[in-house]
Structures are given as C-alpha cells and as structure tokens.
Amino acid sequence: MIQAAAKLSRSAIAVSGNSRLGHISRTSSRPLRFLHDGINGPSANPVTVQMINYALSHARSQKSDESYAQGMLILEQCLSTQLSESDGQFAQNSIGTVLLAMSTLLYERGSVEEAIEKLRRVQDLTQSSLGVRVAAAEALVGLYLQLGQDDTSSVLTDKCLELLDKDDLKCNSGSKEFVVARAKAVKGLVELVNGNLESATSFFQGLQDNEDCNGTVALSYGEFLHTTQNFSLAKELYQKIIEGVLKKEDFSDTNSLAVCNMAPDEVLLAATFALGQLESHMGNFGAAEEILTKALTKTEEYFGSHHPKVGVVLTCIALMFRTKARQEHSSALLIQEGLYRRAIEFLKAPPLESKETKLDQRDISALARGGYAEVLCVQQNRKTEGEKMKTWADAAWRNRRMSLADALDISKPSSKVPVIDARISRVL
C-alpha cells in the first residue's frame, strides 16, 4: 500500500511540467473551492492546487483505508516540497492550503485530534492571507464544538475577531467583508451553543440583507432564526444554501476557504437536515419526512451507513414521528423504537451502567435515549427499563438553553425549539 501511494505521489508531482495538469483538474470528483485567497495578495501555487485535488479525488474514489492513506501520502509529499520555501505570503498560502486539505481527510476518517493539529499549524503561518487563517480558525471552532470543548471554541473565535481588527490586514477588497461575516457567524454559533441568544443576536445583526450571507454564514444565521422561531426567514436561508450549492453558485468563489465540518458538502447536508427539522416544527410532517429521508440518504453516502452522523439524522426522524403522533393523536411506537435503537447503536452511546463521562455526540445520545425512554415507559412490562434510560438521558443532557423535557416536547405554544446542527452534532 505504501509503495503504491509513493508511486502515486511521484506521478502527481510530475504533473507540474506536462499536460496532465489539465487532465487531473477535469477528473477530480469533488474539486476544492478553498484553494485561492486573493484577499491580501497572491494565491497558492497552482501546482499545489492540482496536487490537492488529485489527492482528495483519489482518497475519496474508494473511501477505503488504503485510498485515504495514499491520498495522505501524496499530500505529505506535496507539503514537504512546499516547506523548502516557507517564507512570504505565496509560499505560506501554499503550505496552508495543503494543511487544510490534510485536516479534511483526517476529519473524514474520524481522526479529529490529528485534524486539529494540522489546523493549529495553519494558524502559525503568520504571513499567510487572512482567508487561510480564518478558514483554519473556523474549522477549529467547529471541531472543538463537536468535541464539547466550548470554552476553547469561544477563545478561538475571540482571537479570530481580534485578528480581523488588525490594521495591517485591512484592504479594499470586497472579499474581506465575506471573511469578516464568517468570523462573526462562527462566533454567533458558539453563543448559540452556550445558550446566549442575546449575545448571538449582536453577531448576526445586519446579515439579513448582506450579500455575503451564504454558506456557513447563512447556515448559522438560519439556525439562529430557527431557534428564535422566525421560521419563514430561516426557511429562505436553508433553501438558498441548498439551491446555491446544487447550482455551484454559493461555493464557487475561490476566496471561500472551508474545511472539515465547515466544508461545502457538510454545509449542504446540514442545511437539508435543518430544513427537515423546520418543516417538522411547523407541522408539515409530509415535507419533513421527505426532506429528512433525503438527508439520511446523503449522510449515508457521504459518511458511510454506520457513521455516528447517521445516528444524528435517525434521532431527528424519530422525534419527528413522535411530534406527529402527538399532534395527530395517533401511535407510532414501533417506528420510533426501531429508529431510536438504530440511532443509539450508530451514536455508539455507552451502556447505561457505564460511568464514562466523556461522551461523543452527548446531546444527541441524550435526546435519543430520552425519546426511547418515553416509548418504553408507556409499556407496563418495560417501564423499569424506560426509567433507567430516562435517568441516564437526564444526567447526560448539558444544553444550557432548555431542559431535555423541553427538547422532547415542543407541542406547547411557548415551547423552545431545539435545532440540531448536523455539522457539530449539537442541539442549539
């Protein structure tokens, strides 16, 4: 495997001097949209761009351990070549884009800590363009939120906003406004996670009529509007993302660097998932089921059929059936139970007897087990099992804005609306 990867690496490097450059660019299955940053100066090396496209395309061609290992070897070879000339913005942009690409591959294979290490290295590239460093900061915040390290995420967003205020980074390019919008939006997302709606409002203020409100900016703003029950405008933003990505409009701008769980494909999935939730919250259960089923299919295709994010979508579908059954005074216990059981399995929630305190997808596991507990408690012969599960779910729940009971029951007019962000697997 290593020999094959090394051969691929040498072949890819050779493209810099012949016509295979064009061939590789045309055959990349998912060309990167984050490899140019003209905010403050020159872009990354175009050969580096082609190398990254080739490596990612190859890694994803089979989505196997071997193909990903070979893709990483190509990127490592590319990085070592770039490091030989590491001074100046052009060189550091090239190094930064390779590290961003490596972080994405590592994230896709579940190596979150290693992805974080690559992103940290990008932050150290002090001569790189603003867009490169903001992309790394945004991705770091996303990964730390996914890991439940909210304090670290908050510190990072503050540092990112401070970076934007530096005089030497000011420029006349309109691109900077988009980068500033992204930095504010990810800070707003952190405030949402922390339950600080008033603070979040200050960071999303003015985005409604801002032409830079797309991609991650539009998604986070849409989720803010969703949580505050401005359903109509939230729906417009979710649809704008979905239509824009499918038409390759919102993410075709090469200044829009985005990686890991903030990458375009993740944003598209999360927007589709959020729209399905919104339709459910509005009582449009037919539309909700159709959209959430589409989100489930896309998630399975992108991550694999047993990935924890599949469990996130299944949990939401189960909650949709629960809300529908309550409003229609019907029963869907068997459907809900099957969905909850599969979700808990994919989320890899620990046994009820476990004393483990560090949990991945804690919010969603608590939701899934809380909903499942309700299904069990209405069955006399399983009530004891249900009570035990409810105790576990209540203890695991950490949301600052609402209780688990509130998140499970949104039928009351005064109910707070829980919104699951699929990028970070958190309840807002």
Tokens 């989100």 belong to residue: 295
Element (H, E) at 427: strand 426-427
- Mean pLDDT to the nearest integer, 392-412: 89
Cα separation of 300 and 408, whole Å? 25
Residue 337 pLDDT: 92
Q: Give the CA distances from residue 193 to residues 305, 358, 412, in Å, rounded to whole numbers and listed in that order.
A: 27, 18, 23
- Mean pLDDT to the nearest integer, 106-128: 93
Residue 410 pLDDT: 75
333 pLDDT band (50/70/90 cuts)? confident
- Mean pLDDT to the nearest integer, 153-169: 81
Residue 15 pLDDT: 40
Residue 118 pLDDT: 97
Domains with residue ranges and CATH for the chain: 1-127 (no CATH), 129-262 (1.25.40.10), 277-427 (1.25.40.10)
What percentage of the chain exceeds 90 in pLDDT? 55
Angle at 16 between CA 12 and CA 20, to 5 degrees: 65
Residue 23 pLDDT: 36
State pLDDT tens for residues 209-223: 777 678 899 999 999
State pLDDT tens for residues 220-277: 999 999 999 999 999 999 999 998 855 543 323 346 678 999 998 999 999 999 999 9
Would you state the torsion angle of the CA atoms of residues 398, 400, 406, 407, taken in this order, to the nearest 10 degrees? -60
Is the confidence at residue 388, as pLDDT, over 60?
yes
Q: Which of 122-126, 157-161, 209-213 has the lowest mean pLDDT?
A: 209-213
Q: Which of 24-33, 67-76, 239-248, 404-413 has the lowest mean pLDDT?
A: 24-33
Phi, psi of 379 (to 5 degrees): -105, 115
State pLDDT tens for residues 185-217: 999 999 999 999 999 999 998 877 777 678 899
- Is residue 91 a contact partner of residue 85, using CB atoms and an 8 Å limit? yes
4 pLDDT band (50/70/90 cuts)? very low
Residue 168 pLDDT: 52
Query: What 3-state class would DSSP assign to 226?
Result: helix
Residue 27 pLDDT: 35
Q: Which of 38-42, 343-347, 377-381 has the lowest mean pLDDT?
A: 38-42
- Mean pLDDT to the nearest integer, 20-29: 34
Average pLDDT for the chain: 83
Is the confidence at residue 119, as pLDDT, over 90?
yes
Single pTM value for the model: 0.86
